[in-house]
């Protein structure tokens, strides 16, 4: 019988996950279908119970449900406990197990696309929302030395630092005011600059960082995946190595795919389908 997986979000219509997951199922000849489910926050509990009732194999979870869904799961992975958010559910013999593959996706893109190992490195991180939590967790686990965090409302960055301080071990945090984001000295001390804000999703969004501060040895990672952002364009123009969030998205999807199917994900097929889906939007 055909197996169902999908995505809980609100809204979900914009998501390209169905396209690249279904392309992967087709490539491997698996009798699976991936469906988007628009779940209003007030219906989240019922919808999650529905995964069991309908014998759905698994679910991705996106905004605004990544944290709110936690009480409705039977078990969560160690990553979920430390990040505090779920993006993948697996219905394992009637028990719902929560995972977080965003951190895995981020790390594989860092490794594969930028050849960057965070160990001992200094990171300049913009943003303190959902993705910033997965990114910070991944950087701590890979023994980054220092993370400088900048977010518009101070409290969000403070909460993020408070959340991770107990597991940070050798990694130190520095909180910098948003008005100081173009501080040349701070940027020049970093090995990589990561944009984990949603700035860049809109075609008119400017780069949060002035282009003249993007100097030769700095790597750039932008989690925004729906277009080449002004930050990425400026970095490339100045000859820097820079990567957007599409490969991170595909790789987090590939990790979910492997949890659900037990098969190695066809990454190139997924990537191609994701690129085509964005080009046709």
Do 95 and 73 touch, CB atoms closer than 8 A? no
Do 26 and 18 touch, CB atoms closer than 8 A? no
Quick one: which of 23, 245, 261, 269 contacts ligand NAP (CB under 6 A)?
245
Comparison of 190 and 223: residue with beta carbon closer to ligand NAP? 223
Interface with ligand NAP in residues 169-198 (CB under 6 A): 197-198
Q: Which of 66, 121, 146, 271 is catalytic?
A: 66
Do 120 and 145 touch, CB atoms closer than 8 A? yes
191 carries a ligand binding annotation: no
The Cβ of residue 216 has, within 10 Å, a number of other Cβ atoms equal to: 8
What's the rounded Cα separation, in Å, for the pair 78 and 30?
29
Q: Segment near ligand NAP (CB under 6 A), from 21-29, 68-76, 217-225, 258-266?
A: 217-225
129 carries a ligand binding annotation: yes
Told to check if 202 binds ligand NAP by CB under 6 A, we report no
Catalytic site includes residue 263 = no
Which residue in 252, 251, 258, 249 sits closest to 25, CA to CA?
258
Told to check if 116 binds ligand NAP by CB under 6 A, we report no
184 carries a ligand binding annotation: no
Told to check if 219 binds ligand NAP by CB under 6 A, we report no
Report the nearest approach of ligand NAP to the CB of residue 63 (Å). 5
Quick one: which of 224, 232, 242, 265 contacts ligand NAP (CB under 6 A)?
224
The Cβ of residue 178 has, within 10 Å, a number of other Cβ atoms equal to: 13
Residue nearest to ligand NAP (CB): 129
Q: Segment near ligand NAP (CB under 6 A), from 28-36, 234-242, 247-255, 259-267?
A: 247-255
Report the nearest approach of ligand NAP to the CB of residue 247 (Å). 8
Do 4 and 35 touch, CB atoms closer than 8 A? yes
Report the nearest approach of ligand NAP to the CB of residue 37 (Å). 17
17 carries a ligand binding annotation: yes
Judging by beta carbons within 10 Å of its beta carbon (0-12, 13-18, 19+), is residue 264 exposed, middle or buried? exposed
Told to check if 229 binds ligand NAP by CB under 6 A, we report no
Do 24 and 265 touch, CB atoms closer than 8 A? yes
Comparison of 2 and 40: residue with beta carbon closer to ligand NAP? 40
Q: Please give the full DSSP string across 189-258, using - where no structure is assigned.
A: T-SEEEE-SSTTSSTTPPPSS-GGG--TT-EEEE---SS--HHHHHHHHTT--EE-SHHHHHHHHHHHHH
DSSP structural state of residue 14: T
What's the rounded Cα separation, in Å, for the pair 90 and 97?
5
Told to check if 9 binds ligand NAP by CB under 6 A, we report no
Binding residues for shikimate: 15-17, 62, 87, 102, 225, 252
Contact residues: ligand NAP, CB under 6 A: 63, 102, 105, 127-132, 151-153, 156, 197-199, 201, 223-225, 245, 248-249, 252
Residues in binding site for NADP(+): 127-131, 223, 245
């Amino acid at each position: 019988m055909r197996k169902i997986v999908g995505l809980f979000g609100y809204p979900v219509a914009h998501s390209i996950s169905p396209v690249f997951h279904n392309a992967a199922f087709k490539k491997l000849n698996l009798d699976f279908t991936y469906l988007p489910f628009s779940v209003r926050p007030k219906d989240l509990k019922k919808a999650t119970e529905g995964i069991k009732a309908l014998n759905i194999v698994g679910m991705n979870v996106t905004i605004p449900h990544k944290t709110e869904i936690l009480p409705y799961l039977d078990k969560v992975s160690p990553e979920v406990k430390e990040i505090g958010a779920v993006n993948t559910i697996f219905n394992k013999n009637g028990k719902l197990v929560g995972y977080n593959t965003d951190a895995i996706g981020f790390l594989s893109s860092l490794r594969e696309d930028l050849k960057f190992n965070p160990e001992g490195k200094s990171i300049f991180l913009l943003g303190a929302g959902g993705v910033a939590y997965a990114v910070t967790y991944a950087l701590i686990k890979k023994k980054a030395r220092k993370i400088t965090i900048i977010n518009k409302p101070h409290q969000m960055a403070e909460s993020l630092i408070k959340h991770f301080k107990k597991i940070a071990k050798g990694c130190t945090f520095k909180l910098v005011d948003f008005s100081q984001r173009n501080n040349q000295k701070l940027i020049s001390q970093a090995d990589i600059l990561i944009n984990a804000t949603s700035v860049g999703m809109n075609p008119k969004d400017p780069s949060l960082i002035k282009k003249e501060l993007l100097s030769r040895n700095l790597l750039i990672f932008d989690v925004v995946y729906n277009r080449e952002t002004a930050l990425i364009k400026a970095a490339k123009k100045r000859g820097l190595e820079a990567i957007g969030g599409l490969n991170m998205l595909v790789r987090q999807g590939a990790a979910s795919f492997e949890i659900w199917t037990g098969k190695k994900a066809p990454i190139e097929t997924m990537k191609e389908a994701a690129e085509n889906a964005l080009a046709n939007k």
